[in-house]
Amino acid sequence: MTKLKSVCVYCGSSNDVKPEYLRLAQELGRALAQQDIRLVYGGGGVGLMGACARATHSEGGDVLGIMPRFLLQKERIFEDVPHEIVEDMHTRKQRMFDESDAFIVLPGGIGTLEEAVEMLSWARLGLHAKPMAFLDEDGFWTPFFTLMDRIIEGKFTPEEFRAALVHENTPEAALQALCDRVVRLGD
């Protein structure tokens, strides 16, 4: 199925979230391992980050965590997988970008949204053509897509940019959509 070798996952680091979000992160982690796609993520052992990484690792999948030094205590590094420790958030985001073929955005907070929007901005500026999928089961990202539609309707972003945005409700559908886009971009 895949031409994807590595997917960067952006997601929340809070443990105080709905159990369904943690379960979805675990399902994504298992799907990545089963499809032999490396997980690149923020390196934490907490919240959706930790759930996804632990699931990938426990299924025998390849994982790379990238964590800035100042977050080592807050996000409690998941020590069972390889990590790069970097000096700042900018370097973390650049390394995650460099190590990935595509992106999946799980539910998360302002940090998750900021990372996703920065990658979308880079795509809009023509700096990359890596696809991105937003993954939820309960419409978590629906307001974001409503806003994107409004931005497009207002002519701030061209209509064709909407095709770069995928919104799926299962890990398998998200990965398939990303693979389809990678294949199209490679043609």
Q: Answer whether 0.85 is exceeded by the pTM.
A: yes
Residue 187, domain member (yes or no) = no
Strand partners of residue 135 = 168
Count CB-CB contacts under 10 A for residue 150.
10
Is 69 buried (19+), middle (13-18) or exposed (0-12) by CB count in 10 A? exposed
CA end-to-end distance (rounded Å), the chain: 16
CATH number at residue 86: 3.40.50.450
Residue 135, domain member (yes or no) = yes
pLDDT for 183 equals 58
Residue 94, domain member (yes or no) = yes
Number of domains in the chain: 1
CA contacts within 13 A on the Cβ side of 149: 8
pLDDT for 187 equals 42
pLDDT for 163 equals 83
Residue 67, domain member (yes or no) = yes
> Both tokens of residue 166?
């995928």
Residue 28, domain member (yes or no) = yes
Distance of alpha carbon 178 from alpha carbon 4, whole angstroms: 8
Residue 1, domain member (yes or no) = no
Strands lying side by side in the sheet with 83-86: 83-86, 63-68, 38-41, 6-10, 102-105, 132-135, 165-168
> pLDDT in tens for each of the 187 residues of the chain?
448 999 999 999 999 999 999 999 999 999 999 999 999 999 989 999 999 999 999 999 999 999 999 887 777 777 888 999 999 999 999 999 999 999 999 999 999 999 999 999 999 999 999 999 999 999 999 999 999 999 999 999 999 898 888 999 999 999 999 998 875 544 4
Range of the domain at 144: 6-182
